[in-house]
Amino acid sequence: MTTAEFIAACFWPFVVIAAFALCKTRNTAAFPFIGKIVFAVSVAYIGLLLFYDKSSIFAVNDVHIGLVVLGLAIAGLQLRQPPLYGSWFDKAKALGFMILVVLLGSGLAWYAGRMLVLDHLTSRLVIEGRVDRAWRSSGSRRADYLVRIAGQTVKVTTPLYERLEQFKPAVRVEVGRGSNYVYEIEYLSN
């Protein structure tokens, strides 16, 4: 396990511990101190996520879980709306905006959740063959690392991309059906 994988694997346990610590110290003198620690570690995690999001499969899954949580939070925020006041048009406009926000949040949660379900709760696609080509998708810095194995294009993490690009070995990979990322790799003899 690389350092990037370890840090990414520790993200959600940190979230649970931070939420527990903040709840337990809410009305005590320790709350500002605990809050500063949680804030500093959160900023560090967000910074690492922005720069190293494709460095580990754990980080890719953390992003998908985060999108599910964000989508549910966006949809759930509309449940706490105050009563609507004003003319019929004002009420309709506010209600339409609430419906739009709930649909967008639900869509985001569905998109990322479906990807997680297809990756982890269904059988993975198995591809066996030689690496034909390794390249980055066109675009900005956030471009995906792509590899063609036996004529099928799959996404890989940064360290795996560097190995496959350099050696172009014969491999057997298990690919998630939702995200199209390589989850397991086995190097075959040339």
Domain boundaries, the chain: 3-120, 125-187
Mean pLDDT of 173-181: 95
CB 8 within 8 A of CB 59: yes
* Residue 128, phi then psi, degrees to nearest 5: -130, 130
Report CA dihedral (130, 134, 138, 144) to the nearest 10 degrees.
90
Residue 190 confidence (pLDDT) above 70: no
Mean pLDDT of 172-188: 94
Q: For residue 55, what pLDDT is reported?
A: 85
126 or 50, which is more confident?
Answer: 126
Give the model confidence (pLDDT) of 111-140 as tens digits: 999 999 999 999 999 999 999 999 988 776
Nearest residue to 64 via CA among 15, 18, 19, 117: 117
Residue 66 confidence (pLDDT) above 70: yes
Q: Characterize 77-100 residue by residue with b for buried, 16 or more Cβ atoms within 10 angstroms of its Cβ, and e for exposed.
A: eeeeeeeeeeeeeeeeeeeeeeee
Residue 172 confidence (pLDDT) above 70: yes
The Cα 144–Cα 57 span in angstroms is: 13
Give the model confidence (pLDDT) of 91-108 as tens digits: 888 889 899 999 999 999
Give the model confidence (pLDDT) of 7-43 as tens digits: 888 998 999 999 999 999 999 999 999 999 999 999 9
